[in-house]
Structures are given as C-alpha cells and as structure tokens.
Amino acid sequence: MPSTTPSGPKSGPNRKVTVTAAAVLIAALVFGAVSAFGGGGGRGDRTSAPPSPSAAPSGGAQDGPEVARRQAGDPRAVGRADAPVVLIEYSDFQCPFCGKFARDVRPKLMRYVENGDLRIEWRDFPIFGAESEAAARAGYAAGLQGRFWEFHDVAYAKERKRNSGAFSRENLAKMAGEAGVPDLDRFRLDMTLDPAVEALRRDMAEGHELGVPSTPAFLINGKPMLGAQPFEVFDGEIRAALRQAEGAGR
C-alpha cells in the first residue's frame, strides 16, 4: 500500500506536525466509515508496503469492530483467551510484507503474549490465487495437529517467488515435515477436506466484510492498521490499547 506521507524534500518539525495531523484525520475518517478499513469490502490484488511510521494512526486505542474469537485452544491463536488486547492478523503466505512482519515484528510482540497482555489471532486472507489458498489450507491442516505456528514460521522463513510452485502440494508437505507435523498422510488429507475449506471461507468473508484491502492487515482491539509497520508502531498501539483497557476496568 503506498505511503500516505507527503512527497518531496520537505522535512523537519513542521512536516512532522503536518503528517501527524493528517494521520489523526485519516483515523477519524476510517472509523467514520461503515467498513473498518474504509474500503468497500473489495479483495484487491496487492500487498501493503509499509508506510512511513509517522503516517500510521497513533494515539489512544479507538473503538472498532469486535471480531476477536477468543476461542480457548484455538490452534491459530497465541495468548490468553481473556487477554486485554487482541491483535488480529489478515495475511497471505505468499505476501512478502506478511513475511516481513512474521520475521521482524511478531517475535518481538511475543513478550506481550507471554506476560498475558496480548493475544494474536490469525486469519487467512489469500489474495494471490491457488497457491495462496493451498497454503492457507495447509496451515489449517498443520493446526489440527498442533503445529500451525511452526508451519507459519517455516512458510515465512524466507521470501519465495510468488506462484512459482513454491507452495505446491509437495512443497507444502515438505514444509509441514520441517514444522514437525507428526502425521503427514493425515496432513495431506486434511488440506482437502471441507473443514479446511470452510475455515478459509469464513476468514475471507470476515475480511471482505471489514473491507480489508490488502495484506498484511491488522486489528488491534478493533483499530485497523495496514502494512508491515515497524515494531515501534505496533508497540505504541498495543501500549495505548492497554492503557485504555486499564481505564475501562476502573
């Protein structure tokens, strides 16, 4: 997704104030729209490059759609079901910026998961065709054997050329083996069965209803964020959401 920051050589404090004001206005417009992401539910066909950190909405956490599932034992989620902050991620295994988030940012967020403040819930949102959909079903199948996040890490371990066969059934089975999925025959079968297909349809329908325009896309306690933002942006938003949660609990 293109940056929303002004172009040109202008820099310094005045530019920072202008960008911050623009970010606040954008956030207000987004939450005034029916769609959480300000879109019309269209699927799009691109990934979101990270905008300038200063262009990301900042400040206190905002109200937004409540789509967190908070299901105990969900294999595609980490963190307490009752954590005060829920980060929902809409991603495609072929998306390079999703991979950047998985490698560079998510590991740093795990400290919030480990101390009970954050829950991360995965949603499949494949936008690049058959290989993306196959990878989504493979992730679901790995999750049935308790190895979704291990599969996730293997799939995103390096950037792979899109729609090149990197996510063929054979290669997906190899990834599953590397991720420690114990029963690969069951994995291959589970990829093809209705539960995997229905889970994918459910995630995609949720994303379309919210207006997710591209990947990666996130909701942090209902507040939308687009693109592979730097860790500092996620850190600030999670801290703001925690402050709001603490205030609401008083």
pLDDT tens track for 102-135: 999 999 999 999 999 999 999 999 999 999 999 9
- Residue 24 in domain: yes
Contacts with 188 (C-beta within 8 Å, 6 or more apart), sequence order = 141, 169, 173
Q: Which two tokens stand for residue 141?
A: 């199948």
Nearby residues of 100 by Cβ (< 8 Å), 6 or more positions away: 50, 228
| Structure token digits, residue 5 | 């920051």
* Residue 1 maps to a domain: no
**Average per-residue pLDDT in the chain?**
82
- Pick 60 or 159 by higher pLDDT: 159
CA distance 244 to 221: 10
DSSP H helical ranges for the chain = 13-32, 96-100, 106-114, 130-144, 148-155, 169-178, 184-190, 194-210, 231-248
Task: Please classify residue 74 by burial: count the beta carbons closer than 10 Å to its beta carbon, then call 0-12 exposed, 13-18 middle and 19+ buried.
Answer: middle
Q: What is the pTM of this model?
A: 0.79
Helix axes 130-144, 194-210, angle to 10 degrees: 120
Structure tokens, 105: 């940012």
The tally of domains found in the chain comes to 1
d(CA 113, CA 120): 8
In a domain, 42, yes or no: yes
Residues 6+ positions from 198 with CB-CB distance below 8 Å: none
In a domain, 5, yes or no: no
Domain membership of residue 203 (yes or no) is: yes
Domain span at residue 138 reads 14-248
Sequence-distant (6+) residues with CB within 8 A of 7 are none
Rounded average pLDDT over 30-58: 46
Query: How many Cα atoms are found within 13 Å in the side-chain-facing hemisphere of 207?
Result: 28
CATH number at residue 111: 3.40.30.10
Residue 192 in domain: yes
Q: Is residue 3 a part of any domain in this protein?
A: no
Q: If we measure between CA atoms, which residue out of 250, 186, 190, 244 comes closest to residue 60?
A: 244
Tens of pLDDT, residues 164-176: 999 999 999 999 9
Q: Is residue 137 part of a domain?
A: yes
Residue 73's region, left for phi above 0, alpha for psi from -120 to 50, else beta, is left
Burial class (CB in 10 A: 0-12, 13-18, 19+), 12: exposed
For residue 181, what are the contacts with CB-CB under 8 A and spacing of at least 6?
141, 142, 145, 147, 150, 151, 187
CA distance 6 to 226: 18
CA-CA distances (angstroms) from residue 166 to 96, 103, 134, 157? Answer: 13, 18, 11, 13
Residue 202 gets the label, from left (phi > 0), alpha (psi -120 to 50) or beta, of alpha
Quick: pLDDT tens for 62-114. Answer: 456 789 999 999 999 999 999 999 999 999 999 999 999 999 999 999 999 99
